[in-house]
Amino acid sequence: HAGPESRAPTLLAMLQSGALQPVIDAFLGNENPDRSAIGLAQQKSNDFIRQFEGRTGITKLNSTQVFNGMPPVKIQVTAIFRAWDDPIKEVEEPFNKLMEWALPVKLSPDGSVLARSAQAARGNTGFIDALVPSIAPTTIALRYKNRIYSPLVIEAISEQMTSSIDAKGRYVELLVPMTLATLTALDRDDWVNYNALKL
């Protein structure tokens, strides 16, 4: 909200809770040798400060929720791979493909924009490559229960290294927890279209 609490939160909190009064009492009690004048000033300040206790600047108008953005939608999934005949084709290769999709296609080894810009100025590389040198992860689609969610990216993926293996050290069963995320926030039409998409 846009009330006074958002502009001076600490001061308003001290006023509303009464925590400011002891501070003023301590200040006035040590400054002026005229005790009668101090007592009168303290009384007036205390009476004034007590008016703030239990009050707030929040109103219906300035507490109205404002829609100013929303994050992409995230989907938590777990892929389960089991080998019935061939651990390589049924577990290892599908998991490796998921890892490839989750990772950036390529990350530039040079972190300096100035160095890449100098290379571009000499004609050794393009200006687009100098400005954005890396290639983002692959976008994917998820088909589940008659819905197709697309496009998505694999935001997080993990490998359970304690999973069962065969005599050659190959996974025979592997659970792969993943967090999938949409590229943008979704609206109502996006959700309707998930039911209409066809692979």
- In tens, the pLDDT along 56-114 reads 777 777 677 777 778 899 999 999 999 999 999 999 999 999 999 999 988 877 767 76
User: Which pLDDT score, from 0 to 100, does residue 54 have?
Assistant: 74
Q: Are residues 191 and 95 in the same domain?
A: yes
Q: Are residues 89 and 176 in the same domain?
A: yes
Q: Strand pairing of 140-144 and 173-182?
A: unpaired
At 136, give phi and psi (nearest 5°): -70, 165
Q: Are residues 1 and 47 in the same domain?
A: yes
Alpha-carbon distance 63 to 3, whole Å? 8
Q: Are residues 43 and 94 in the same domain?
A: no
- Do residues 175 and 95 lie in contact, with contact meaning Cβ atoms separated by under 8 Å? no
Q: Are residues 81 and 58 in the same domain?
A: no
- Look over the chain and give the mean of its residue pLDDT values, rounded to a whole number: 81
Residue 166 sits in which domain range?
Answer: 74-106+135-196
Q: Are residues 57 and 88 in the same domain?
A: no
Q: Are residues 21 and 93 in the same domain?
A: no
Determine the straight-line distance between the first and last CA of the chain, rounded to whole angstroms: 46
Weakly modelled stretches of the chain, pLDDT under 50: 33
User: Which pLDDT score, from 0 to 100, does residue 122 have?
Assistant: 72
